[in-house]
Structure 1
Amino acid sequence: MTAEAVRKAGSEGEERGRARRGRWVAGGVVVLALLIAGVAAVASARGEEEPRVPGTDSADAGFARDMAVHHQQAVEMSFIVRDRTDDEDVRRLAYDIANTQANQRGMLLGWLDLWELPKVAPNGAGPMAWMKGEDGHGEHGGGHEGGGGVGLMPGMATKDELKRLGALRGEEAEVFFLQLMTDHHLGGVSMAEACASRCAVPVEKRLARGMVEGQQSELGLMRDMLAARGAKPRS
């Protein structure tokens, strides 16, 4: 092969190589474009576009603040009864409630930090202001009104009731705990249902729906546990 033929063959090889690289790059761009379009389509279909940061007076912020406080009391009651009974079923339920609600409380407070919003209601607004005039009692009629009291959210126990729970032992403590927690869950479900319909942040709405499902399941369990002890819910 002459030198000219060698140069010609080399030139043709380089051109073919450039053409292949061009096709690879073009193909990669097409695949990347398709992937981006697919992700965007899925996000759009799911309605998961990144929302704007909620306002201080929004349902999202109000629910996060109030439910964090509501959950804290459930954790407190669970720890109280844990030390007042040896019944494994009650202790297991108390552990599950404390663990679940402590984790959810951390998420709620974390969102407030992420949104750079206060953890207390602004301008002296009391709890449940985000429900815009609703009484927060939902279909259950507010749980037990005596446990709500002035300034407390639906279903929350009073200081006197918490003190009484800490003074009881054995089955008496179990029954009173189950009654208090039933009221507490009824109030929590009504709050979570309100967020599921009013909140704008998708992940918070999903958490609220999960709270409704989880607490309704525990309500059924607590009714059975009360019945086994010859008692009933107060609400």
Structure 2
Amino acid sequence: MSEVENEQTPDRPVSRSSRPFVIVASALSVLLLGAAFGMFLTQRAMDSSAQATPAAGSVEVGFAQDMSVHHLQAVTMANWARDHSADPEIRQLAFDIQSTQLEQVGRMKGWLMLWGQPEQSNSPYMSWMTGSSGHEMAGMPGMAAASSTAAAGSGDAAMPGMATNAELAKLRSLSGKDLDVYFLQLMLRHHQGGTPMAEYAHEHTSLSALKALTKSILDSQGAEMDLMKQMLTARGAQPLP
């Protein structure tokens, strides 16, 4: 064998043009891993307790459908901040949110597949929360924006805390510190808006797999909300009203 054949080819860095494919592949892997993990845990929980399969409109199905939609917007915002911010703290926070919530979405979609339910419901968002109507809904963070846009027929901010299309466009138009601050403000409100959903599901489900997930969401997002408030203060900014 020649010397040329014996030489090992040095590792080549991933080219800039291939980075989007690497990111997409990684995200898909996380999503699929979450789905497989969710189906495994849910099947074990149902087998061990002989629970009936959750039906359409139940807390379990409704939460999985609606929180997946809620989470995916957070993933979208986090991906943008991670790729466009120059602040290491923002990039790290965005990465943590993106990876955690994408895995959770995969888990919830795995449940829906196992239960024979569609990924999205035709019912109004949060209709599975029997107490989340009228004055209770109006008091949730971000609900005022959701109500006003829904009245206008735009479909924006469908659930508490979610950003409108105009807010997402503004986020994409910013750079530097302005981008960092606005991302923190939108994501903080997003977490605050999703908290009542996780709390309600945690209190009203008997499915151990869902209780475990909602506890994880409340714990991780509670810590992230504290961190985002500190990061806003450090940058001379305040949460959105």
Post-superposition Cα deviations, 1:39-92, rounded to whole Å, max 9, x if no partner, equal xxxx9xxxx623210011100000000000000000000011123210000000
Q: Is the 8 A contact 1:136 1:142 kept in 2?
A: no
| Paired position in structure 2 for 1:141 | 139
Q: Is the 8 A contact 1:79 1:94 kept in 2?
A: yes
2:63 maps to 1:57 = no
Matches within 5 A, 1:47-126: 49-121=49-121, 124-126=122-124
Amino acid aligned to 1:118: P
Structure 2: 5+ residue stretches without partners? 1-43
Task: Tell me which residue corresponds to 2:228.
Answer: 222
Corresponding residue of 2:27 = none
Task: Tell me the distance in 2 between the aligned counterparts of 1:190 and 1:117.
Answer: 23
Q: Is the 8 A contact 2:66 2:125 kept in 1?
A: yes
Q: State the Cα distance separating 1:198 from its structure 2 match.
A: 1.3
1:161 matches 2:159? no
RMSD after superposition: 2.3
Distance 1:168 1:181 in 2: 15
One-letter identity of the residue aligned with 2:188: T
Name the aligned partner's letter for residue 125 of structure 1.
S
Is the 2:137–2:143 Cα contact (8 Å) retained in structure 1?
no
The Cα shift of 1:131 comes to: 0.3
Paired AA for residue 181 in structure 1: M
Q: Percent identity?
A: 41
Partner in structure 1 of residue 180 of structure 2: 174
TM score, norm. by length of structure 1:
0.75
The CA distance in 2 between the partners of 1:184 and 1:197, in whole Å, is 21
SS in structure 2 of the partner of residue 83 of structure 1: helix
Match of 1:127 among 122, 125, 128: 125
- What TM-score comes out, normalization by structure 2 length? 0.73
Q: 1:132 to 1:189 in 2, by over 3 A?
A: same
Decide whether the 8 Å contact of 1:182 with 1:233 is kept in 2: yes
SS in 2 for 1:129: coil
Which residue type is aligned with residue 160 of structure 1? A
Change (3 A) 1:176 1:146: farther
Range with bigger deviation, 214-223 or 128-137: 128-137
Structure 1's 63 and 137: CA in aligned 2 closer, same or farther, altered over 3 A? Answer: farther
Contact 2:143–2:159, Cα closer than 8 Å, also in 1: no
Could you tell me which runs of 5 or more consecutive residues in structure 1 were left unpaired when the two chains were aligned. 1-42
Partner amino acid for 1:191?
A: M
In structure 2, distance between residues paired with 1:118 and 1:92? 33
Aligned partners of 2:138 and 2:144 also within 8 Å = no
- Measure how far apart 1:186 and its partner are: 0.5
For these two proteins, the number of residue pairs brought into alignment is 188
Contact 1:85/1:170 (CA < 8 Å) preserved in 2?
yes
Counterparts of 1:193 and 1:226 in 2: how far apart (Å)?
25
2:190 to 184, 187, 195: 184
